[in-house]
């Protein structure tokens, strides 16, 4: 049998994977990677394919520890060590069978994130955790994080969902939360971070934080301030956003939000698939709703808004115009 080979672009993607994941965050490296992605659509496609097959992080290897005894230990050492090379990565990836397109289905999904994460919550589940440094971490339903705590850093990587963290003071190791768009750094404070589609929401509940994009753009947010982080800019949010943390007590407090955003907040608590028709996605909603009973919320919305809610089974809900 001939040995499976990768095309040059895929090999470049693995080079970048090793560089970006093996060491500390580096603005210059991130800028070079962004330039490589933008140079050719084939680069972005190769990167997307690699991420889909390996998962959002090397956390895949952690799960393989339990599933492929004898191989995963070597994979962990090679892929996680700072001096890992593309040749090493190719050998491990091929050995674990990750070159096949159907391998590790769902690794980029919320289910896959939860399976691979250090801490996670399931559908309809909220949970509080005490971290090794004494910080208190709360995860909303269907949320997942990885932890990198050592003598030099305290890093929480939000893979999916939403968290609130009360940070224990440590002057030598400021705590950071990393998302797909950037990092939020704090010392002795309390704040909310939500990973949304293509953006990160940050709400400062106590004291202050510094938010920073991967291109180096940064901004200090004081208590009571909020912002949306996107790849190229930080957009302040006007008005008090403390109500965004009401999920801690099982409530969804909505102050003039679009229906689509309200449904997104309910999805981690809902069974099955919920689809909102395009013509009603921007209908404005106000009210306080129980997170633990989405069906009751949908019924209440149908009574007060120009929408209809059709349930075709416990697993399919369609929301459309009346």
Question: pLDDT tens, 35-88?
Answer: 888 788 888 877 776 665 554 334 444 444 333 334 444 444 444 444 444 445
pLDDT of residue 37: 80
How do residues 263-316 score in pLDDT, each as one tens digit? 999 999 988 788 999 999 999 999 999 999 999 999 999 999 999 999 887 778
- Listed as own residue / partner, the contacts of 79-83 with beta carbons closer than 8 Å and 24 or more positions apart are 79/18, 79/21, 79/22, 80/22, 81/22, 82/22, 82/23, 83/22
- Helix (H) or strand (E) holding 149, with range, is strand 144-149
Q: Which residue has the tokens 């947010």?
A: 221
Bridge partners of 227? Answer: 202, 236
pLDDT per position as a tens digit, 227-261: 999 988 999 999 889 999 999 999 999 999 999 99
Burial of 4 (0-12, 13-18, 19+ CB in 10 A): exposed
15 pLDDT more than 80: no
Is residue 200 pLDDT above 70, yes or no?
A: yes
For the chain, domains (ranges, CATH) are 8-95 (no CATH), 119-243 (2.60.120.1440), 250-321 (3.55.50.30)
Distance of alpha carbon 162 from alpha carbon 239, whole angstroms: 20
pLDDT at 112: 46
Residue-averaged pLDDT of the chain: 79
- What's the predicted TM-score (pTM) here? 0.67
Question: For position 62, what pLDDT does the model report?
Answer: 42
β 199-206/208-213 pair status: unpaired
When comparing pLDDT for 177 and 316, which is higher?
A: 177
């Amino acid at each position: 049998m001939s040995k499976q080979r990768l095309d040059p672009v895929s090999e470049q993607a693995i080079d970048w994977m090793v560089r970006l994941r093996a060491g500390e965050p580096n603005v210059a490296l991130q800028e070079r990677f962004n330039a490589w992605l933008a140079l050719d659509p084939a680069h972005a496609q190769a990167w997307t394919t690699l991420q889909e097959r390996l998962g959002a992080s090397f956390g895949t290897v952690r799960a393989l520890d339990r599933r492929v005894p004898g191989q995963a230990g070597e994979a962990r050492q090679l892929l996680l060590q700072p001096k890992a090379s593309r040749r090493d990565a190719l050998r491990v990836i091929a050995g674990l069978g990750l070159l096949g397109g159907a391998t590790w289905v769902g690794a980029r999904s919320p289910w896959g994130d939860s399976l691979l994460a250090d801490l996670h919550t399931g559908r309809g589940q909220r949970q509080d955790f005490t971290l090794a440094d004494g910080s208190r971490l709360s995860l909303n339903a269907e949320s997942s994080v990885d932890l990198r705590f050592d003598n030099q850093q305290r890093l929480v990587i939000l893979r999916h969902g939403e968290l609130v963290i009360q940070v224990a003071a440590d002057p030598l190791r400021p705590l950071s939360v990393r998302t797909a768009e950037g990092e939020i750094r704090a010392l002795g404070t309390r704040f909310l971070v939500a990973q949304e589609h293509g953006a990160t929401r940050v709400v400062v509940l106590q004291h202050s934080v510094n938010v920073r994009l991967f291109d180096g753009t940064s901004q200090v947010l004081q208590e009571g301030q909020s912002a949306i982080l996107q790849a190229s800019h930080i957009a302040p949010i006007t008005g008090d956003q403390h109500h965004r943390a009401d999920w801690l007590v099982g409530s969804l407090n909505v102050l003039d939000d679009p229906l689509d955003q309200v449904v997104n907040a309910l999805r981690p608590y809902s069974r099955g698939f919920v689809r909102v028709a395009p013509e009603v996605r921007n209908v404005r909603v106000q009210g306080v709703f129980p997170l633990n009973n989405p069906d009751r919320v949908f019924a209440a919305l149908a009574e007060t808004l120009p929408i209809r809610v059709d349930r075709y089974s416990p697993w399919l809900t369609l929301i459309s115009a009346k």
